[in-house]
């Protein structure tokens, strides 16, 4: 497979890379390099320009200025096809898989076949199994991609790159959607690759991952390199400071509040998964005024179904949902919203916003039909602009303009926009699912601060998260879900990671 | 009527004519299916068929060569496909609208050229039936399937060919990848533009074949609006067949056999109002589509122009 390649990659340098988008200078004279046998972590806030820099390296974007040196020789990477020929592979921030095709088919797309005009999936399957064995990437080549769990899909992405003989692998936030166990497995694979002489570029927002896997760290801010250190000479707090430009608060002092009346109550709730299997088995819980209740658990244990059953997006097959004394079981989402609920969904791009819509359109998705934003049957554009300007300002959403399509914002800024829209409705009950997934440390801090402020104002918050640190930092009480049931509820100030970990694994103490 | 229908002769006649009538649907729908598999919805099928029907007819009329007629008909279709590709792939125009534009262009152009060149209905000596040795002597099946002209055989042969290409070749894999997730295909070094051009042009050529068959393979003459909406039905058949060659074959046969039955009913003068008879196939399409499409899995990127977000 390593045929017709100019040679093994021993070093790669990017010098003075500049890339402009309309209204944004995404890369502003960036220098970056990576060598065989090392993991170079690339850190930076949302929108700092990390993905842009990597897309330039992979030939997807052409830089406006700067040059790339491969093994010391300058060259121009005109297309992904050329990057692949040079031995560069990339795992993209969003999966680049084709669900209706099999694993083997996904891997061999675009490659010439040994059987000339016919595809040779058998041979591909054998080769995939070899790679899987060598790098600990177990996956069934004949399975359809839509059948795979997220962690397995990630493995397919890596196999795709290795199959093409990648010497240099770019991993753009590969861990954002993985469980802690899957992250450990991924790291084992990466260490193996490093030993075999691959050069690896690793992007993440999780600082402890940077400390665990990388040899060097480069930090980007606003498209410029603001620091480069050897991992052994730094720590998480120093990295956070470098990224954001100030100290970052990672543990919170919550004001003492006596929780008031029950605002969200779920009684013996039952619902089914997409596949029609029971996903919630008689789940009961209460959230009071001024209280944050965390739902911890490994993803896929009913958390998503719980959020959707509460918000009216999934039929409830048994039990009741009560919001502020109103029974909203199986009510439409509009009725649930009217009862005083706000929802931050985990699928940011699919359920949280309409990607093609502009910032202002997304900002008024729920309230556009009511005064003051609507006058009779017409939209009041002036009020809408004012309203949007206030949200953007109050919640520090970075966007070139109100007219910018939301898909051009960085992940963290999209999340802030959703937060702004949902919290500005002064909700009685807030359901927040994975509110900081893929969000940088600065924005995470901001979102946490807002959630705590909301608590002080009396909102009852249900916080669903796979990030134990987040759950423990914010929750007054923590409920752990396992296989559609609540395994136990512990007080936030008494919980330990070990105790929660056991409950998450289904072990009752 | 049932009694008459059950006579073997009548049934064979209807089925054989169903197979003949299925031919233009097959050509056009298979071509459209390939285009849609790559993510391009081309609604210009009907107009393309008309223009090709005319050019093929005219060249055959003027030169006396059927082969030349087919060649020109196919090239005309390819050219129409190329126009569609430039507008919808390179210029990223809204596909539904550009397809309708292409249709209207083909419609107007064929009328105009007909008026300017021939002006009156004329006929040519079209393709003659070619009995397949041995097979055509089989009872029933022989008469239904194996006594047609070469274009009919070609249409049916293209069904398994399309299947093999789509599901057994690296090219087919690229086509499906581009139609499902062009971004993913792009990151694997597949040229989204190249694949879409190829598929849309092939689709156009097959529409061209469909039109060619109408004027020099089935009717042996050219009249205004020769397609009578067949191109639109072909688009519907792609949905009906769920983007699958065998599904398209089943849909084409079902539709054309009902059509043949309807013609037979009319010719026989059976006491069903003429309008009802003519409506039958179309009502059937609507009903079938209502049921078939709900569960269908269309290519995820169908009718979405691709842009690498490069500024
Ligand atoms: N195709 C595009 N068109 C216009 N602007 C873009 C485009 N892609 C990125 N940008 C802008 O360029 C800047 C850098 O984006 P980039 O995706 O590189 O950030 P990032 O560091 O990867 O952020 P994140 O951590 O959220 O993934 C952002 O301000 C973003 O809005
Ligand atoms: Mg990114």
Q: Are residues A218 and A283 in the same domain?
A: no
Q: What is the overall mean pLDDT for chain A? A: 89
Is A2 a member of any domain? no
Is A45 a member of any domain? yes
DSSP structure class, residue A487: E
| Band (B294; pLDDT cuts 50, 70, 90) | low
Cα separation, B122 vs B128, in Å, equals 18
Sign of the torsion formed by the C-alpha atoms of B232, B237, B240 and B244 = negative
Query: Quick one: closest CA in B to A121, which residue?
Result: B168
Q: Is the CB of B311 under 6 A from ligand 1?
A: yes
Name the domain count of chain B. 1
Q: Are residues A24 and A43 in the same domain?
A: yes
Q: Is the distance from CB of B49 to CB of B213 less than 8 angstroms?
A: no
Cα separation, A449 vs B302, in Å, equals 43
Nearest CB to B170; choose among A21, A90, A119: A119
Q: With beta carbons under 8 A apart, name residues in chain A contacting B170.
A: 108, 110-113, 117, 119
Is B311 a member of any domain? no
Q: Are residues A253 and A359 in the same domain?
A: no
With an 8 Å Cβ cutoff, the interface of chain A facing chain B consists of 20-22, 58, 60-62, 79-84, 90, 92, 96-101, 105, 108-113, 117-119, 160
Residue A1 has pLDDT above 60, yes or no: no
Identify which of A22, A25, A26 to mutate to test ligand 1's pocket (most ligand atoms within 8 A of the CB). Answer: A26
Q: Is the CB of A442 under 6 A from ligand 1?
A: no
pLDDT in tens, A167-219: 999 999 998 777 777 888 899 999 999 999 999 999 999 899 999 999 999 99
Question: Whole-structure pTM over 0.90, yes or no?
Answer: no
Q: Is the CB of A223 under 6 A from ligand 1?
A: no
User: What's the rounded mean pLDDT across residues A142-146?
Assistant: 90
Residue B311 has pLDDT above 50, yes or no: no
Q: Are residues A104 and A168 in the same domain?
A: yes
Query: Quick one: closest CA in B to A105, which residue?
Result: B173
Is B127 a member of any domain? no
Cα separation, A365 vs B39, in Å, equals 30
Name the residue with tokens 């520090």: A396
Is B299 a member of any domain? no
Cβ <8 Å between B190 and A84: no
Predicted local distance difference test score (pLDDT) of residue A120: 87
User: What's the rounded mean pLDDT across residues B16-40?
Assistant: 96
Q: How far is B175 from chain A (nearest CA, A)?
A: 10
Predicted local distance difference test score (pLDDT) of residue A331: 92
Q: Are residues A444 and A398 in the same domain?
A: no
Q: Are residues A278 and A399 in the same domain?
A: no
pLDDT in tens, A328-344: 999 999 999 999 999 99
Cα separation, A204 vs A210, in Å, equals 7
Cα separation, B3 vs A490, in Å, equals 80
Cα separation, A426 vs A97, in Å, equals 39
At a CB cut-off of 8 Å and minimum separation 6, what does A502 contact?
A: A509
Sign of the torsion formed by the C-alpha atoms of B57, B63, B66 and B68 = negative
Cβ <8 Å between A22 and B311: yes
Task: Give the orientation angle of helix B245-268 with respect to helix B274-292, to 10 degrees.
Answer: 160
Q: With beta carbons under 8 A apart, name residues in chain B contacting A100.
A: 176, 180, 297
Ligand 1 centroid to residue A474 C-alpha, Å: 29
Q: Which residue range is the domain that position A412 belongs to?
A: 352-426
Using only C-alpha atoms, chain A has a radius of gyration, in whole angstroms, of 24
- Measure the CA angle with vertex A385, ends A381 and A389; round to 5°: 170
| Band (B296; pLDDT cuts 50, 70, 90) | low
Q: Are residues A278 and A383 in the same domain?
A: no
Is B303 a member of any domain? no
User: What's the rounded mean pLDDT across residues B222-242?
Assistant: 92
Taking a contact as any Cβ pair under 8 Å apart, which residues of chain B between 171 and 210 contact chain A? 171-174, 176-177, 180-181, 183-191
Q: Are residues A107 and A253 in the same domain?
A: no
Is B188 a member of any domain? yes
Cα separation, B256 vs B25, in Å, equals 8
* CA proximity to A454, closest of A478, A420, A479: A420
Task: Kindly report the CATH number assigned to the domain that includes residue B212.
Answer: 1.10.3470
Q: Is the distance from CB of B7 to CB of B136 less than 8 angstroms?
A: no
Concatenated DSSP letters of A156-213: HHHHHHHHTT-SEEEEESTTTT--HHHHHHHHHHHHHHHHTT-EEEEE-S-HHHHHHH
Predicted local distance difference test score (pLDDT) of residue A441: 86
Secondary-structure percent of chain B, ordered helix, strand, coil, rounded to 5: 75, 0, 25
Q: With beta carbons under 8 A apart, name residues in chain B contacting A118.
A: 168-169
Q: Is B18 exposed, middle or buried (0-12, 13-18, 19+ CB in 10 A)?
A: buried
Q: Is the distance from CB of B285 to CB of B233 less than 8 angstroms?
A: yes
Q: Whose CA is nearest to atom 22 of ligand 1?
A: A51
pLDDT in tens, A10-38: 999 999 999 998 878 999 999 999 999 99
**Helices in B181-244 by DSSP H: which ranges?**
182-187, 192-213, 230-240
Name the residue with tokens 């104002």: A457
Is A3 a member of any domain? no
Q: Is the distance from CB of A110 to CB of A148 less than 8 angstroms?
A: no
Last residue of a domain, which of A244, A267, A291?
A: A244
Residue B18 has pLDDT above 80, yes or no: yes
Q: With beta carbons under 8 A apart, name residues in chain A contacting B188.
A: 80, 84, 96, 109-110, 160
ipTM above 0.90, yes or no: no
Name the residue with tokens 């459209």: B32
* CA proximity to B206, closest of B242, B258, B245, B254: B245
Is A316 a member of any domain? yes
| Band (A3; pLDDT cuts 50, 70, 90) | very low
Is B302 a member of any domain? no
Ligand 2 centroid to residue A18 C-alpha, Å: 16
Predicted local distance difference test score (pLDDT) of residue A396: 86
Nearest CB to A108; choose among B168, B173, B308: B173
Q: Are residues A388 and A485 in the same domain?
A: no
* CA proximity to B184, closest of A444, A39, A80: A80
Q: Are residues A447 and A509 in the same domain?
A: yes
Cα separation, A55 vs A79, in Å, equals 10
Helices (H) and strands (E) in chain A, counts: 16, 22
Task: Kindly report the CATH number assigned to the domain that includes residue A136.
Answer: 3.40.50.300
Is A454 a member of any domain? yes
Residue B270 has pLDDT above 90, yes or no: no
For residue A356, the tally of other CB atoms under 10 A from its CB is 10
Ligand 2 centroid to residue B233 C-alpha, Å: 45
Nearest CB to A84; choose among B183, B189, B308: B189
User: What's the rounded mean pLDDT across residues B281-307?
Assistant: 80
Taking a contact as any Cβ pair under 8 Å apart, which residues of chain B between 263 and 302 contact chain A? 297
pLDDT in tens, B152-166: 999 999 999 999 999
Q: Is the distance from CB of A36 to CB of A100 less than 8 angstroms?
A: no
At a CB cut-off of 8 Å and minimum separation 6, what does A504 contact?
A: A296, A297, A298, A480, A482, A487
Is B51 a member of any domain? yes
More confident residue, A35 or B273: A35
pLDDT in tens, A248-307: 777 777 888 888 899 999 999 999 987 778 999 999 999 999 999 999 988 778 999 999
Last residue of a domain, which of A426, A459, A491?
A: A426
Concatenated DSSP letters of A49-72: SHHHHHHHHTTSS--SEEEEEETT
User: What's the rounded mean pLDDT across residues A364-384?
Assistant: 84
Name the domain count of chain A. 3
Cα separation, B124 vs B118, in Å, equals 12
Q: Is the distance from CB of A411 to CB of A438 less than 8 angstroms?
A: yes
Using a CB–CB cutoff of 8 Å, tell me whether B308 touches chain A: yes
* CA proximity to A446, closest of A438, A457, A436: A436
Is A345 a member of any domain? no
Tokens of B273: 């109002």
Is B15 a member of any domain? yes
Alpha-carbon A27 to chain mean position: 22
* CA proximity to A72, closest of A123, A11, A28: A11
pLDDT in tens, A448-479: 999 999 999 999 999 999 888 899 999 999 99
Q: Are residues A20 and A81 in the same domain?
A: yes
pLDDT in tens, B52-78: 999 999 999 999 999 999 999 999 999
Q: What is the overall mean pLDDT for chain B? A: 91
DSSP structure class, residue A276: S
- Tally C-beta pairs within 8 A across A and B: 78
Tokens of A342: 């706000």
Q: Which residue range is the domain that position B243 belongs to?
A: 2-118+135-294
Element (H, E) at B170: helix B170-180
Q: Are residues A70 and A157 in the same domain?
A: yes
Q: How far is A115 from chain B (nearest CA, A)?
A: 9
Exposure string (b/e) for A369-403, b if CB count within 10 Å is 16 or more?
eeeebbeeeeebeeebeebbeebbeebebbbeebe
Sign of the torsion formed by the C-alpha atoms of A355, A360, A361 and A365 = positive
Q: Is A456 exposed, middle or buried (0-12, 13-18, 19+ CB in 10 A)?
A: exposed
Is A499 a member of any domain? yes
Last residue of a domain, which of A426, A458, A483?
A: A426
Q: How many residues does chain A have?
A: 509
Predicted local distance difference test score (pLDDT) of residue B279: 83
Residue A6 has pLDDT above 60, yes or no: no
Predicted local distance difference test score (pLDDT) of residue B293: 64
For residue A363, the tally of other CB atoms under 10 A from its CB is 29
In order of A69, B81, B219, the CA distances from B106 in angstroms are 52, 11, 20
Cα separation, A90 vs B109, in Å, equals 49
User: What's the rounded mean pLDDT across residues B79-107?
Assistant: 96
Q: Is the CB of A411 under 6 A from ligand 1?
A: yes
Q: With beta carbons under 8 A apart, name residues in chain B contacting A97.
A: 181, 184
Is A493 a member of any domain? yes
């Amino acid at each position: 497979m390593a045929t017709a390649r100019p040679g093994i990659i021993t070093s790669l340098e990017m010098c003075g890379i500049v890339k402009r988008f309309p209204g944004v200078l995404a890369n502003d004279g960036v220098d970056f390099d990576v060598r065989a046998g090392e993991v170079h972590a690339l850190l930076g806030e949302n929108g700092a320009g990390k993905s842009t820099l990597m897309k330039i390296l992979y030939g997807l974007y052409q830089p406006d200025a700067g040059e790339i040196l491969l093994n010391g020789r300058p060259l121009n990477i005109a297309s992904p096809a050329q990057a692949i020929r040079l031995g560069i592979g990339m795992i993209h921030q969003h999966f680049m898989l084709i669900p209706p095709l099999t694993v083997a088919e996904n891997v061999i797309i675009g490659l010439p076949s040994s059987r000339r005009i016919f595809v040779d999936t058998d041979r591909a399957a054998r080769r995939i199994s070899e790679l899987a064995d060598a790098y600990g990437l177990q996956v069934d080549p004949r399975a359809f991609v839509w059948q795979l769990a997220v962690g397995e899909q990630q493995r397919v992405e890596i196999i795709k790159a290795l199959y093409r003989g990648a010497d240099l692998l770019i991993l753009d936030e590969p861990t954002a959607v993985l469980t802690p166990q899957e992250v450990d497995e991924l790291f084992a694979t990466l260490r193996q690759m490093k030993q075999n002489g691959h050069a690896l570029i690793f992007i993440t927002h999780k600082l402890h991952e940077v400390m665990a896997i990388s040899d060097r760290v480069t930090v980007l801010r606003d498209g410029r390199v603001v620091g480069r250190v050897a991992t052994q000479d730094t720590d998480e707090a120093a990295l956070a400071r470098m990224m954001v430009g100030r100290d970052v608060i990672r543990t919170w002092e919550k004001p003492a509040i006596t929780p008031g009346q029950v605002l969200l109550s779920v009684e013996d709730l039952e619902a089914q998964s997409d596949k029609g299997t029971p996903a919630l088995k008689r789940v009961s819980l209460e959230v009071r005024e001024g209280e944050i209740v965390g739902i911890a658990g490994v993803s896929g244990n009913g958390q998503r179904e719980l959020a959707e059953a509460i918000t009216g997006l999934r039929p409830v097959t048994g039990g009741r949902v009560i919001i502020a004394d109103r029974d909203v079981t199986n009510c439409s989402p509009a009725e649930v919203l009217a009862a005083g609920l706000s929802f931050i969904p985990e699928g940011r791009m699919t359920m949280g916003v309409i990607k093609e819509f502009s910032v202002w359109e997304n900002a008024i998705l729920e309230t556009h039909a009511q005064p003051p934003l609507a006058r009779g049957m017409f939209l009041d554009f002036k009020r809408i602009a004012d309203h949007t300007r206030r949200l953007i300002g109050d919640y520090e959403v970075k966007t070139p303009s109100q007219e910018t399509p939301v898909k051009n914002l960085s992940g963290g800024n999209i999340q802030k926009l959703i937060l702004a829209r949902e919290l500005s409705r002064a909700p009685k009950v807030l359901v927040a699912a994975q509110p900081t997934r893929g969000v940088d440390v600065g924005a995470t801090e901001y979102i946490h601060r807002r959630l705590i402020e909301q608590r002080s104002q009396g909102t009852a918050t249900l916080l669903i998260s796979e990030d134990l640190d987040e759950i423990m930092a914010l929750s007054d009480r923590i409920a752990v879900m396992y296989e559609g049931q609540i395994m136990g509820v512990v007080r936030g100030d008494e919980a330990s990671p070990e105790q929660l970990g056991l409950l998450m694994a289904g072990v009752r103490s | 009527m049932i009694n008459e229908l059950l006579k073997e002769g009548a049934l064979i006649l209807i089925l054989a004519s169903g197979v003949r009538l299925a031919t233009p649907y097959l050509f056009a729908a298979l071509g459209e299916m390939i285009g849609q598999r790559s993510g391009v919805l081309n609604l210009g099928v009907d107009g393309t068929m008309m223009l090709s029907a005319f050019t093929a007819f005219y060249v055959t009329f003027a030169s006396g060569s059927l082969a030349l007629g087919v060649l020109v008909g196919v090239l005309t279709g390819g050219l129409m496909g190329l126009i569609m590709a430039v507008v919808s792939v390179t210029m990223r125009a809204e596909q539904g609208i550009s397809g309708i534009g292409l249709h209207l262009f083909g419609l107007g152009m064929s009328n105009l050229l007909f008026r300017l060149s021939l002006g009156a209905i004329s006929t040519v000596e079209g393709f003659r039936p070619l009995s397949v040795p041995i097979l055509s002597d089989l009872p029933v099946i022989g008469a239904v399937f194996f006594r047609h002209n070469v274009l009919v055989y070609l249409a049916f042969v293209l069904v398994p060919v399309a299947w093999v290409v789509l599901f057994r070749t690296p090219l087919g894999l690229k086509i499906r990848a581009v139609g499902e997730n062009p971004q993913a295909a792009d990151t694997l070094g597949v040229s989204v533009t190249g694949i879409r051009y190829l598929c849309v042009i092939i689709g156009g050529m097959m529409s061209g074949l469909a039109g060619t068959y109408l004027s020099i393979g089935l009717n042996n003459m050219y009249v205004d609006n020769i397609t009578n909406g067949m191109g639109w039905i072909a688009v519907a058949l792609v949905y009906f067949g769920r983007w699958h060659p065998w599904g398209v074959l089943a849909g084409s046969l079902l539709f054309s056999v009902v059509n043949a039955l309807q013609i037979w009913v009319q010719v026989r003068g059976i006491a069903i109002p003429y309008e009802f008879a003519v409506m039958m196939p179309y009502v059937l399409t609507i009903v079938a589509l209502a049921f078939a499409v709900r569960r269908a899995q269309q290519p995820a990127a169908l009718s979405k122009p691709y842009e690498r977000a490069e500024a």
